[in-house]
Chains A and B, each alone.
Chain A
Amino acid sequence: MPTAAAADALVEVRDLTTMLSGKAVFAGLSLDIPRGKVTAIMGPSGTGKTTLLKHITGQMRPDRGVLRVDGQNVPALGREALYALRERIGYLFQNSALLTDYDVFENVAFPLRQHARLPEVLLRNIVLTKLQAVGLRGAARLMPSELSGGMARRVALARAIVFDPMLILYDEPFVGLDPIALNQVLKLIRTLNRTLGITSILVAHEFAAVRQVADLVHLIANGQCVASGTPEQLARGESDWTRQFFGGDADGPVPFQYPAGDYATALGFTGAAA
């Protein structure tokens, strides 16, 4: 259930319903993302966390429901308005999604070159500032294929913040990183939020990392928001959902078994099953 008052929510999701390949990914999902905070979205794999981020940025449209970002109902926006909104949103893809044709500098410069007619000197200064912020100014002339996973993710982060966005979405930013790289990315997420006040949505499975940075956690399962609260509240595990998710039990509200017919019948014990 949404805990923050809707008034200071940057993103409001109401009764979101989405069917994908005949399956209800969201069945009346409602939640709020408060302004200026780091909000973590957690939940089992395949529960629709990436899909939710795609809804927020208008890459996918829900079947029903309202999804407001800074007061604008995203599913109803036309192309121009949507693109204008996206210029104020940074999105960190799980696999970084750097443009392989361009070097690190040009990757970070890409949004600027596309949307702002800046003198080359100014553009250079902005790009180098952002690269310095992620600690990779020295890597400006490397190609994406020459970067490690952690470096690529930091470059993608520099690119995502090049327009000083109001909102950043991180899709599983810690996956595949060694502990040092993980802490570097974690530190950047915290710095960007604390110093620039950028509202952040963090999809992640690493609860140890999440509790260091998140102000609020939404737990999504079965197409709904099943628990919300601070990391400490959720870790205490007051519902079956939080107990299973944060306790890591194999069985619980999220079944271990993929839905199947009767086991005894499948094994041929029709008599025994009856």
Chain B
Amino acid sequence: MIEPSIKAKLKTIVGDKYLSDDPVELYCYSHDLVSRALSWVDDNYRIMADLVVKPDNADQVKSIIDLANEESLKIIPRGAGTSYGGQFLPIEGGVVLDFSRMNHIIKIDTEDNYAIVEPGVLYKDLGKVLRNTGRGYWIPCNPGSADVCTIGGMIANDASGESAIKYGTTKDYVLNLKTILGTGQKVQLGRQVKKTVAGLDLLSLFVGSEGTLGVITEAALEFLPLPESFVTILGYFDSIEVAVQIAKEIKEMIIPMSIEMVDQLVLSGMNSYLSRLTPKMVLKIAKAAILVRLDGDEKTTSDYANRIKNLFSRNQHASDIKILRGLEHEYIWKARDGAGPSLLRIRRPEKNPSSLIPAILDFSVPYSKIYNLMEQFGEIMRSHNLIFTRMGHLGDGNVHFISTVTLKSKADVQKMGDLQEQLVTLATSLGGSVSAEHGCGIWKAPYLGTVLGEEVVELMGKIKSIFDPNNILNPGKMYSINKLAIFSN
């Protein structure tokens, strides 16, 4: 509960229209896929923010943070609310800071190739402007949520995706940030330069900090010239093992823009997604498919496309190899981006809620261990009679496992927790990470110690206390473990 006098102060800061304490509005800002499902069997997951405010500029943000420090309010920054780790959940109540009004592109500089934007700008909108600027530019981070996520959310999550193998993650494009720390101090991190080793790299520390250290109010991002052409090579394989082997051979030949693998079930989901587009495109249902995307000049991409096609063709376990360009190329990547959600298209509506197993969504392991991970994962899931899918950015050892557990009672939450623990242990025993790109949020926080070492997590906590001594920013995430994230005993 936030006192009326504090509410009145917040109203004065952002204006009447941009503050809501209506339960209906608060509810819309207060759940994710996991907490929504769990709330049917355990009331503790009925999370509720106290307020949502929509600041319009950095001064307003500063006033809100100052007030939060004075009145011990919790602040939960929020972009488009698309994170899969529960990053934006107001698990301790508090004030959600919605950046949808701070959505202006402030500057595009084609002399030094950077853009300055407010955090609420959509990656898609910035991409459109850059494509149409001068000779055409882009920021090739390409998360699966590229059509909807905000720049602020991407920076705070250090988002990346299918093109990370060649182009890295959001961090690689952030030149500098205007921030307001948890203390209320306004700080600019980084310079308008690509290379600097002047002092500790606090900019990199900030990127990926999930709104726990400070709030981004402006970002300068580097952009690159848009490649002349794109082409995709699609091949189907008899087994995941062969697909993984062949991806390695591609990596020895060239670093492509993407090497993606999808399994049988994902192919069905993608087909269902493609079925609504014209002209029709139908994928073959095979044990695995690999998509290799190349970008660059026409000649080089064509040459490599043919070489990869030949490589696939020489493999007796490969079939239906195609080189896709134009609309087909566009469609297949649309379907790949929507592959996770499109699995729900092929699933009948359920009688009971089911929860995504949140901490298994985004493992990464050394390349040599990918197949082991997928195999052993499969064995465990089959022993529980659970349906699961495997897809991933094979190029960088990142595999997304998607599976759900039906919830009929609280006991099922615990069962899910036990299974999750087993799967995380598998990934970490193979030298892997619990989160390759989606971030920790609340759901993966309990495993950070296992992945990094407890002493490292403790150090992180100490860093947090310098930036945000009163722990007002996004509490209960990343380095502190909230009881809601512990499913098992």
Query: Do these two chains interact?
Result: no
